[in-house]
């Protein structure tokens, strides 16, 4: 029952020593371990034909062996794909939650990043037969997510998402030879390939998953943050450049108002009201691929200024980097625009572009949409790096969309450009795409791992995971022989819960919502893992049930929703917070399971808390814990959820619990509301909630979401958080006991260490 126990797992690696950086460009202090041994002769027999990039599946340089991870099964599957055999020859247990894999050029060895274990598994791959043998589990940093091999197989790079480092592994000795600090949440990796036998004259590209604040901008503006890619030399992993990916000034979609500009939208919006230009900044940078002199980075672009509406909140961006100039090439495209421009219906927008792969012998590439279950094709201009979304040869009025399995996470193209392989996380299979067909088409599907048993608790969590991350909501017919159920989660496939909550966590965006500026809250803190108690939802405690987010599905994403009438299909109304109690209403049933019950099960049991890189035995962490206790910080941030904002009623709350449209008892005034702030505004351009205080944020795994703090992002570091005297003295009746900067530093160290393994601290009785 892996899913059911996932958010309670305490097995983890911790790193002792000084705190790791929360800013870019901290490369001093790299560690070199041992000497390089002679390279394995087998690895020199061939090389990859093009640049390499990190993916959850990997293919050998001769195109015969494919290895794919199975995160929920703690295994990898090995496939024989030579001559389209497309058969699984092994499923091998590795570490806990494998997310990335790379193979040596000849496919004889695989290296797997095990995110929860904090290791990279070195595995012998048996070709032409069955089986695989684990050679060693190599300790690396905290939460290794991605791995990539250099073109000739001389080095392996590992992105350690939580310790903000890159581990360099010698694949011959299965040992870490260097650890490099690179900055917040390294995620996607790619290595250039100039075609020679030397791997030390290439460039390693590293995406940082969440965007960071842009100087001089205010959170909530469409250009308030920048995406970042770091470039290192493969010779010695020294810094080459830090490349900022600029916001897109005009997404091509218009809004009906401008909240930060204090222009309210009309009560009833018509086409003529859509006249305000919207921008978007690159966020959720999970992947990067290189073609010629350019690198391509897909992202979920954030357009947070209100009013928030399904077609102006998130965008499907691909940014382009000029590798020679080491800068944004100014060629960003919005895949959503191409879908909008196609004629006819239905439309399926390419929501959450998650991964990208390029052909080796042609200026073409493929982007997969994690939420929409499709792959689209790009044509690339080799001179400018400009890219365009390709239309179907069969119907030139339509964007070419190649179907995948459910929740695709990775894509690779074989060396001869004849096949693409897509790893599908939810359907637990691999889609094989024939790239020689006109148009490209699915030619096979290979089972990678078993699905949960029907009727099991794991199946409920698994379905909830799918519902949470899908933008289309395409399910089996409600009645036998009837039409499929579509459009439940968003309008034309635009938006999912995961669009703002990747992995169930947070995109760290401050959205100008109907209640005011609100930084996305990670949902791993929704339920107490011990007693099942639920916190009050949203910064202003305006929801008391998970099912209340039906309003977001309908109002933000434009979907039909999952609360239905007596026929089991038609959306039921009204939907509002508190009354009627949404948890007691009829739900759309999917595969015989109540849909909202499944989502709730996923949120409660399937979202894992990030693991802190700081050791619980660090002296500063121990001292900071005592400072936390002495200053009664647990009064607001106590308990197993590390917040005291809790729902203590069932059904419709009584009038004594409500303060207007808020659960008043959960609100705390801690000096974080400033009515004069530029972004303190509702999406309707009216005055926001906040004067009565906010529900205390959870501190659980706060270290994982850098650079944006408080409800409106007014603090860009925990040091700035501690400068708010009212906030830091809230637990001591306004008496400021934290005037000593050294005490504040130690307190911050403790806060950065809090994860699921930290012993909870409870408020005084």
Give pLDDT tens digits for 716-765.
999 999 999 999 999 999 999 999 999 999 999 999 999 999 999 999 87
765 belongs to a structural domain: no
User: Looking at the 3D structure of the chain, how many domains does it have?
Assistant: 2
Residues of the chain above pLDDT 70, percent: 92
pLDDT digits (tens, 9 = 90+) for 362-382: 999 999 999 999 999 999 999
- Mean pLDDT across the stretch 9-22? 31
pLDDT, position 475: 66
pLDDT, position 487: 82
Cα distance between residue 626 and residue 632, in whole Å: 10
Provide the 10 A C-beta neighbour count for residue 231: 18
pLDDT digits (tens, 9 = 90+) for 517-530: 999 999 999 998 77
Whether the Cβ atoms of residue 756 and residue 8 lie closer than 8 Å to each other? yes
In sequence order, the 6+-apart residues with CB closer than 8 A to the CB of 368 are 353, 354, 355, 356, 374, 375, 404, 408, 409, 410, 411, 422
Whether the Cβ atoms of residue 311 and residue 253 lie closer than 8 Å to each other? yes
Task: Verify that 417 and 561 share a domain, yes or no.
Answer: no
646 belongs to a structural domain: no
246 has a pLDDT exceeding 50: yes
15 has a pLDDT exceeding 80: no
708 belongs to a structural domain: no
584 belongs to a structural domain: yes
pLDDT, position 43: 43
Which residue in 178, 161, 181 sits closest to 169, CA to CA?
Answer: 178
Strand runs (DSSP E) across 234-279, as ranges? 239-245, 254-255, 276-277
Task: Verify that 433 and 541 share a domain, yes or no.
Answer: no
Give the domain-ending residue among 549, 582, 605. 605
Confidence of residue 38 (pLDDT cuts 50, 70, 90): very low
Cα distance between residue 364 and residue 448, in whole Å: 27
Task: Verify that 83 and 45 share a domain, yes or no.
Answer: yes
Whether the Cβ atoms of residue 298 and residue 289 lie closer than 8 Å to each other? no
Task: Verify that 420 and 398 share a domain, yes or no.
Answer: yes
229 belongs to a structural domain: yes
Q: Please indicate whether residue 344 or residue 642 has the higher confidence score (pLDDT).
A: 642
- Any idea what the CATH number is for the domain that residue 220 is in? 2.130.10.10
Alpha-carbon distances of 553 from 79, 109, 483, 680, rounded to whole Å: 38, 44, 22, 24
737 belongs to a structural domain: no
Residues of the chain above pLDDT 90, percent: 87
Task: Verify that 363 and 466 share a domain, yes or no.
Answer: no
Which of 232-241, 581-590, 619-628 is predicted least confidently?
Answer: 581-590
Give the domain-ending residue among 447, 472, 487. 447
pLDDT, position 694: 97
Task: Verify that 388 and 471 share a domain, yes or no.
Answer: no
300 belongs to a structural domain: yes
pLDDT, position 46: 84
pLDDT digits (tens, 9 = 90+) for 134-193: 999 999 999 999 999 999 999 999 999 999 999 999 999 999 999 999 999 999 999 999
Task: Verify that 479 and 413 share a domain, yes or no.
Answer: no
Q: Please indicate whether residue 172 or residue 34 has the higher confidence score (pLDDT).
A: 172
684 has a pLDDT exceeding 50: yes
Task: Verify that 437 and 549 share a domain, yes or no.
Answer: no
563 has a pLDDT exceeding 90: yes
Confidence of residue 39 (pLDDT cuts 50, 70, 90): very low
701 has a pLDDT exceeding 90: yes
What values do phi and psi take at 71, rounded to 5? -60, -35
Task: Verify that 423 and 469 share a domain, yes or no.
Answer: no
Task: Verify that 524 and 432 share a domain, yes or no.
Answer: no
128 has a pLDDT exceeding 90: no
Which residues constitute the domain of residue 476?
457-605
682 has a pLDDT exceeding 50: yes
pLDDT digits (tens, 9 = 90+) for 377-416: 999 999 999 999 999 988 888 999 999 999 999 999 999 9
Provide the 10 A C-beta neighbour count for residue 436: 11
pLDDT, position 20: 28
In sequence order, the 6+-apart residues with CB closer than 8 A to the CB of 755 are 12, 609, 610, 611, 612, 700, 701, 703
Tokens of 126: 């048996």
26 belongs to a structural domain: yes
First and final C-alpha spacing in the chain = 36
pLDDT, position 532: 83
- What's the angle, vertex CA 123, arms to CA 121 and CA 124, rounded to 5? 170
pLDDT digits (tens, 9 = 90+) for 74-119: 999 999 999 999 999 999 999 999 999 999 999 999 999 999 999 9
pLDDT digits (tens, 9 = 90+) for 703-716: 999 788 999 999 99
Task: Verify that 125 and 195 share a domain, yes or no.
Answer: yes
Give the domain-ending residue among 447, 469, 500. 447
Confidence of residue 477 (pLDDT cuts 50, 70, 90): low
Half-sphere exposure of 504 (CA within 13 A, CB side): 26
Reduced to 3 states, what is the DSSP secondary structure of residue 7? helix
pLDDT digits (tens, 9 = 90+) for 183-193: 999 999 999 99
pLDDT, position 445: 98
pLDDT digits (tens, 9 = 90+) for 429-474: 999 999 999 999 999 999 999 999 999 999 999 999 999 999 987 6
Cα distance between residue 148 and residue 54, in whole Å: 5
Half-sphere exposure of 176 (CA within 13 A, CB side): 20
Task: Verify that 124 and 227 share a domain, yes or no.
Answer: yes
- Mean pLDDT across the stretch 612-641? 97
Which 8-state DSSP code applies to residue 631? T
In sequence order, the 6+-apart residues with CB closer than 8 A to the CB of 264 are 257, 684, 685, 686
Quote the mean pLDDT of the chain.
Answer: 91
Confidence of residue 132 (pLDDT cuts 50, 70, 90): confident
């Amino acid at each position: 029952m892996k899913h059911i126990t996932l958010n309670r797992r305490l097995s983890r690696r911790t790193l002792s020593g000084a705190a790791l950086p929360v800013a870019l460009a901290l490369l001093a202090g790299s560690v070199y371990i041992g000497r390089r041994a002679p390279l394995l002769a087998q690895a020199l027999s061939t090389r990859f034909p093009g640049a390499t990039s990190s993916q959850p599946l990997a293919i050998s340089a001769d195109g015969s062996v494919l290895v794919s991870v199975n995160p929920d099964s703690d295994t990898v599957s090995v496939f024989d794909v030579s001559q389209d055999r497309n058969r699984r020859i092994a499923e091998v247990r590795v570490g806990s939650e494998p997310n990335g894999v790379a193979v040596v050029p000849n496919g004889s060895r695989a290296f797997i990043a095990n995110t929860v274990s904090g290791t990279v598994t070195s595995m012998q791959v048996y070709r032409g037969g069955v089986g695989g043998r684990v050679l060693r589990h190599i300790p690396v940093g905290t939460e290794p997510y991605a791995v990539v091999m250099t073109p000739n197989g001389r080095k392996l790079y590992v992105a350690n998402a939580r310790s903000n480092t890159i581990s360099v592994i010698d694949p011959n000795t299965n040992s870490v030879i260097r650890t490099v600090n690179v900055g917040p949440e390294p995620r996607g990796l790619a290595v250039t390939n100039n075609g020679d036998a030397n791997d030390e004259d290439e460039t390693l590209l590293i995406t940082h998953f969440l965007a960071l604040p842009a100087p001089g901008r205010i959170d909530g503006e469409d250009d308030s943050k920048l995406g970042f890619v770091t470039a290192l030399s493969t010779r010695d992993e020294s810094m080459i450049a830090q490349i900022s990916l600029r916001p897109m000034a005009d997404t091509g979609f218009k809004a009906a108002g401008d909240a930060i500009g204090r222009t309210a939208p009309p009560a009833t919006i018509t086409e003529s009201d859509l006249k305000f230009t919207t921008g978007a900044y690159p966020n959720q940078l999970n992947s990067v691929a290189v073609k010629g002199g350019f690198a391509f980075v897909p992202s979920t672009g954030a357009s947070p200024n209100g009013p928030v509406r399904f077609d102006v909140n998130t965008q499907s961006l691909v940014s382009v980097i000029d590798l020679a100039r080491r800068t944004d090439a100014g060629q960003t495209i919005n895949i959503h625009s191409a879908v909008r421009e196609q004629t006819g219906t239905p439309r399926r927008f390419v929501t959450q572009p998650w991964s990208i792969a390029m052909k080796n012998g042609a200026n073409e590439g493929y982007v997969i949409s994690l939420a929409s279950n499709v792959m689209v094709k790009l044509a690339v201009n080799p001179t400018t790096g400009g890219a365009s979304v390709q239309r179907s040869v069969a119907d030139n009025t339509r964007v070419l969309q190649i179907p995948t399995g459910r929740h695709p996470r990775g894509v690779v193209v074989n060396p001869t450009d004849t096949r693409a392989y897509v790893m599908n996380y939810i359907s637990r299979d691999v889609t094989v795409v024939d790239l020689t067909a006109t148009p490209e088409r699915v030619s096979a599907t290979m089972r990678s791992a078993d699905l949960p048993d029907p009727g099991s608790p794991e199946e409920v969590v698994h379905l909830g995971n799918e519902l949470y991350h899908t933008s289309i909501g395409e399910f089996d017919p409600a009645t036998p022989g009837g039409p499929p159920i579509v459009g439940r989660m968003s309008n034309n496939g635009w938006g999912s819960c995961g669009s703002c909550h990747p992995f169930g966590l947070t995109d760290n965006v401050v959205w100008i919502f109907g209640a005011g500026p609100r930084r996305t809250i990670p949902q791993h803190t929704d339920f107490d893992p011990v007693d099942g108690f639920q916190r009050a939802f949203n910064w202003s405690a305006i929801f008391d049930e998970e099912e209340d987010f039906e309003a977001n599905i309908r109002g933000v994403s434009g979907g039909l929703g999952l609360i239905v009438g007596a026929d089991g299909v038609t959306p039921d109304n009204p939907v509002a917070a508190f009354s009627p109690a949404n948890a007691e209403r009829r739900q759309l049933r999917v595969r015989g399971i109540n849909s909202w019950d499944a989502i709730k099960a996923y949120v409660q049991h399937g979202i894992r808390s990030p693991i802190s890189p700081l050791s619980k035995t660090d002296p500063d962490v121990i001292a900071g814990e005592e400072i936390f206790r002495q200053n009664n910080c647990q009064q607001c941030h106590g308990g197993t959820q590390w917040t005291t904002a809790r729902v203590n009623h069932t059904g419709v709350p009584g009038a004594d619990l409500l303060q207007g449209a808020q659960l008043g008892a959960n609100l705390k005034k801690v000096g974080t509301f400033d009515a004069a702030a530029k972004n303190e505004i509702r999406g309707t351009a009216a005055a926001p909630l906040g004067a009565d205080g906010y529900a205390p944020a959870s501190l659980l795994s706060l270290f994982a979401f850098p650079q944006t703090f408080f409800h409106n992002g007014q603090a860009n570091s925990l040091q700035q958080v501690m400068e708010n005297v009212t906030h830091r003295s809230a637990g001591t009746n306004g008496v400021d006991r934290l005037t000593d900067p050294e005490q504040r530093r130690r307190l911050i160290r403790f806060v950065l260490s809090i994860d699921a393994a930290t012993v909870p601290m409870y408020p005084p009785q």
